[in-house]
A and B are shown apart, each in its own frame.
Chain A
């Protein structure tokens, strides 16, 4: 099976712009979670989607949003970018929602905000 894929892999934006990142989960996986990884803050949970519904949300401002499509692919959007949004954005997929399942990470999208 193909692993979790993310596009684009690298992105450079300027302050005030918006960005959309995409995540394709492993085939058959219905849950997609998003994380922000920075050297100072580690892995911070953004949100989790299951069956096109946001089931959980971390402590991030409303500029961070996401959605999930019927094929389980997910996108996250960051509006009005700030310098502090520069980070590696990782998504992870898991099989089902009935119990704790292993989360498999994608390679990440590295976002640089200038």
Chain B
């Protein structure tokens, strides 16, 4: 089955600096990679996603890159702000012809702390 590894588990950055979180996946059939942000006591919310036919996607201060050959994808947050403090989860999903279609496999999460 699919296995998603996420690093680092915790990340402390100064306000204004950049943060990078990396995930690797094991199943080359995975073709959809969302990132979720979960603030303390709240539900996970999608912040950005990427599909396997795209190498990079950007939305304001957030960007995601995908390397299909190496089977890894990364989240980049630039000009971090205190409100970026949260747990970030990466995930991998499977195509329709896969036995695991409809299933999201999550990474273990990264606790990001942005200090003023």
Contacts and interface: CB of A to CB of B under 8 A. Distances in A.
Contacts of A100: 31-32, 51, 93
Interface string B72-116: 000000000000000001000100100011111111110000000
B107 A42 contact: yes
Interface of A: 31, 33, 35, 42-45, 48, 50, 55-56, 58, 90, 92, 97-100, 102-108
Contact of A43 (B31, B45, B51, B89): B89
B43 A105 contact: yes
Given A45-B104, A56-B102, A58-B103, A99 B43 contact: no
A50 B102 CA distance: 9
Max chain B CB contacts within 10 Å: which of A33, A43, A56, A104? A43
B54 interface: no
B103 A56 contact: yes
Name which of A35, A42, A107 has the most chain B CB atoms within 10 A of its CB.
A42
A28 B50 CA distance: 24
Interface string B59-75: 00000000000000000
17 contacts: A33-B104, A42-B89, A43-B106, A43-B109, A44-B106, A45-B104, A55-B102, A56-B100, A56-B101, A90-B44, A92-B104, A98-B96, A100-B31, A102-B49, A105-B44, A105-B45, A106-B43
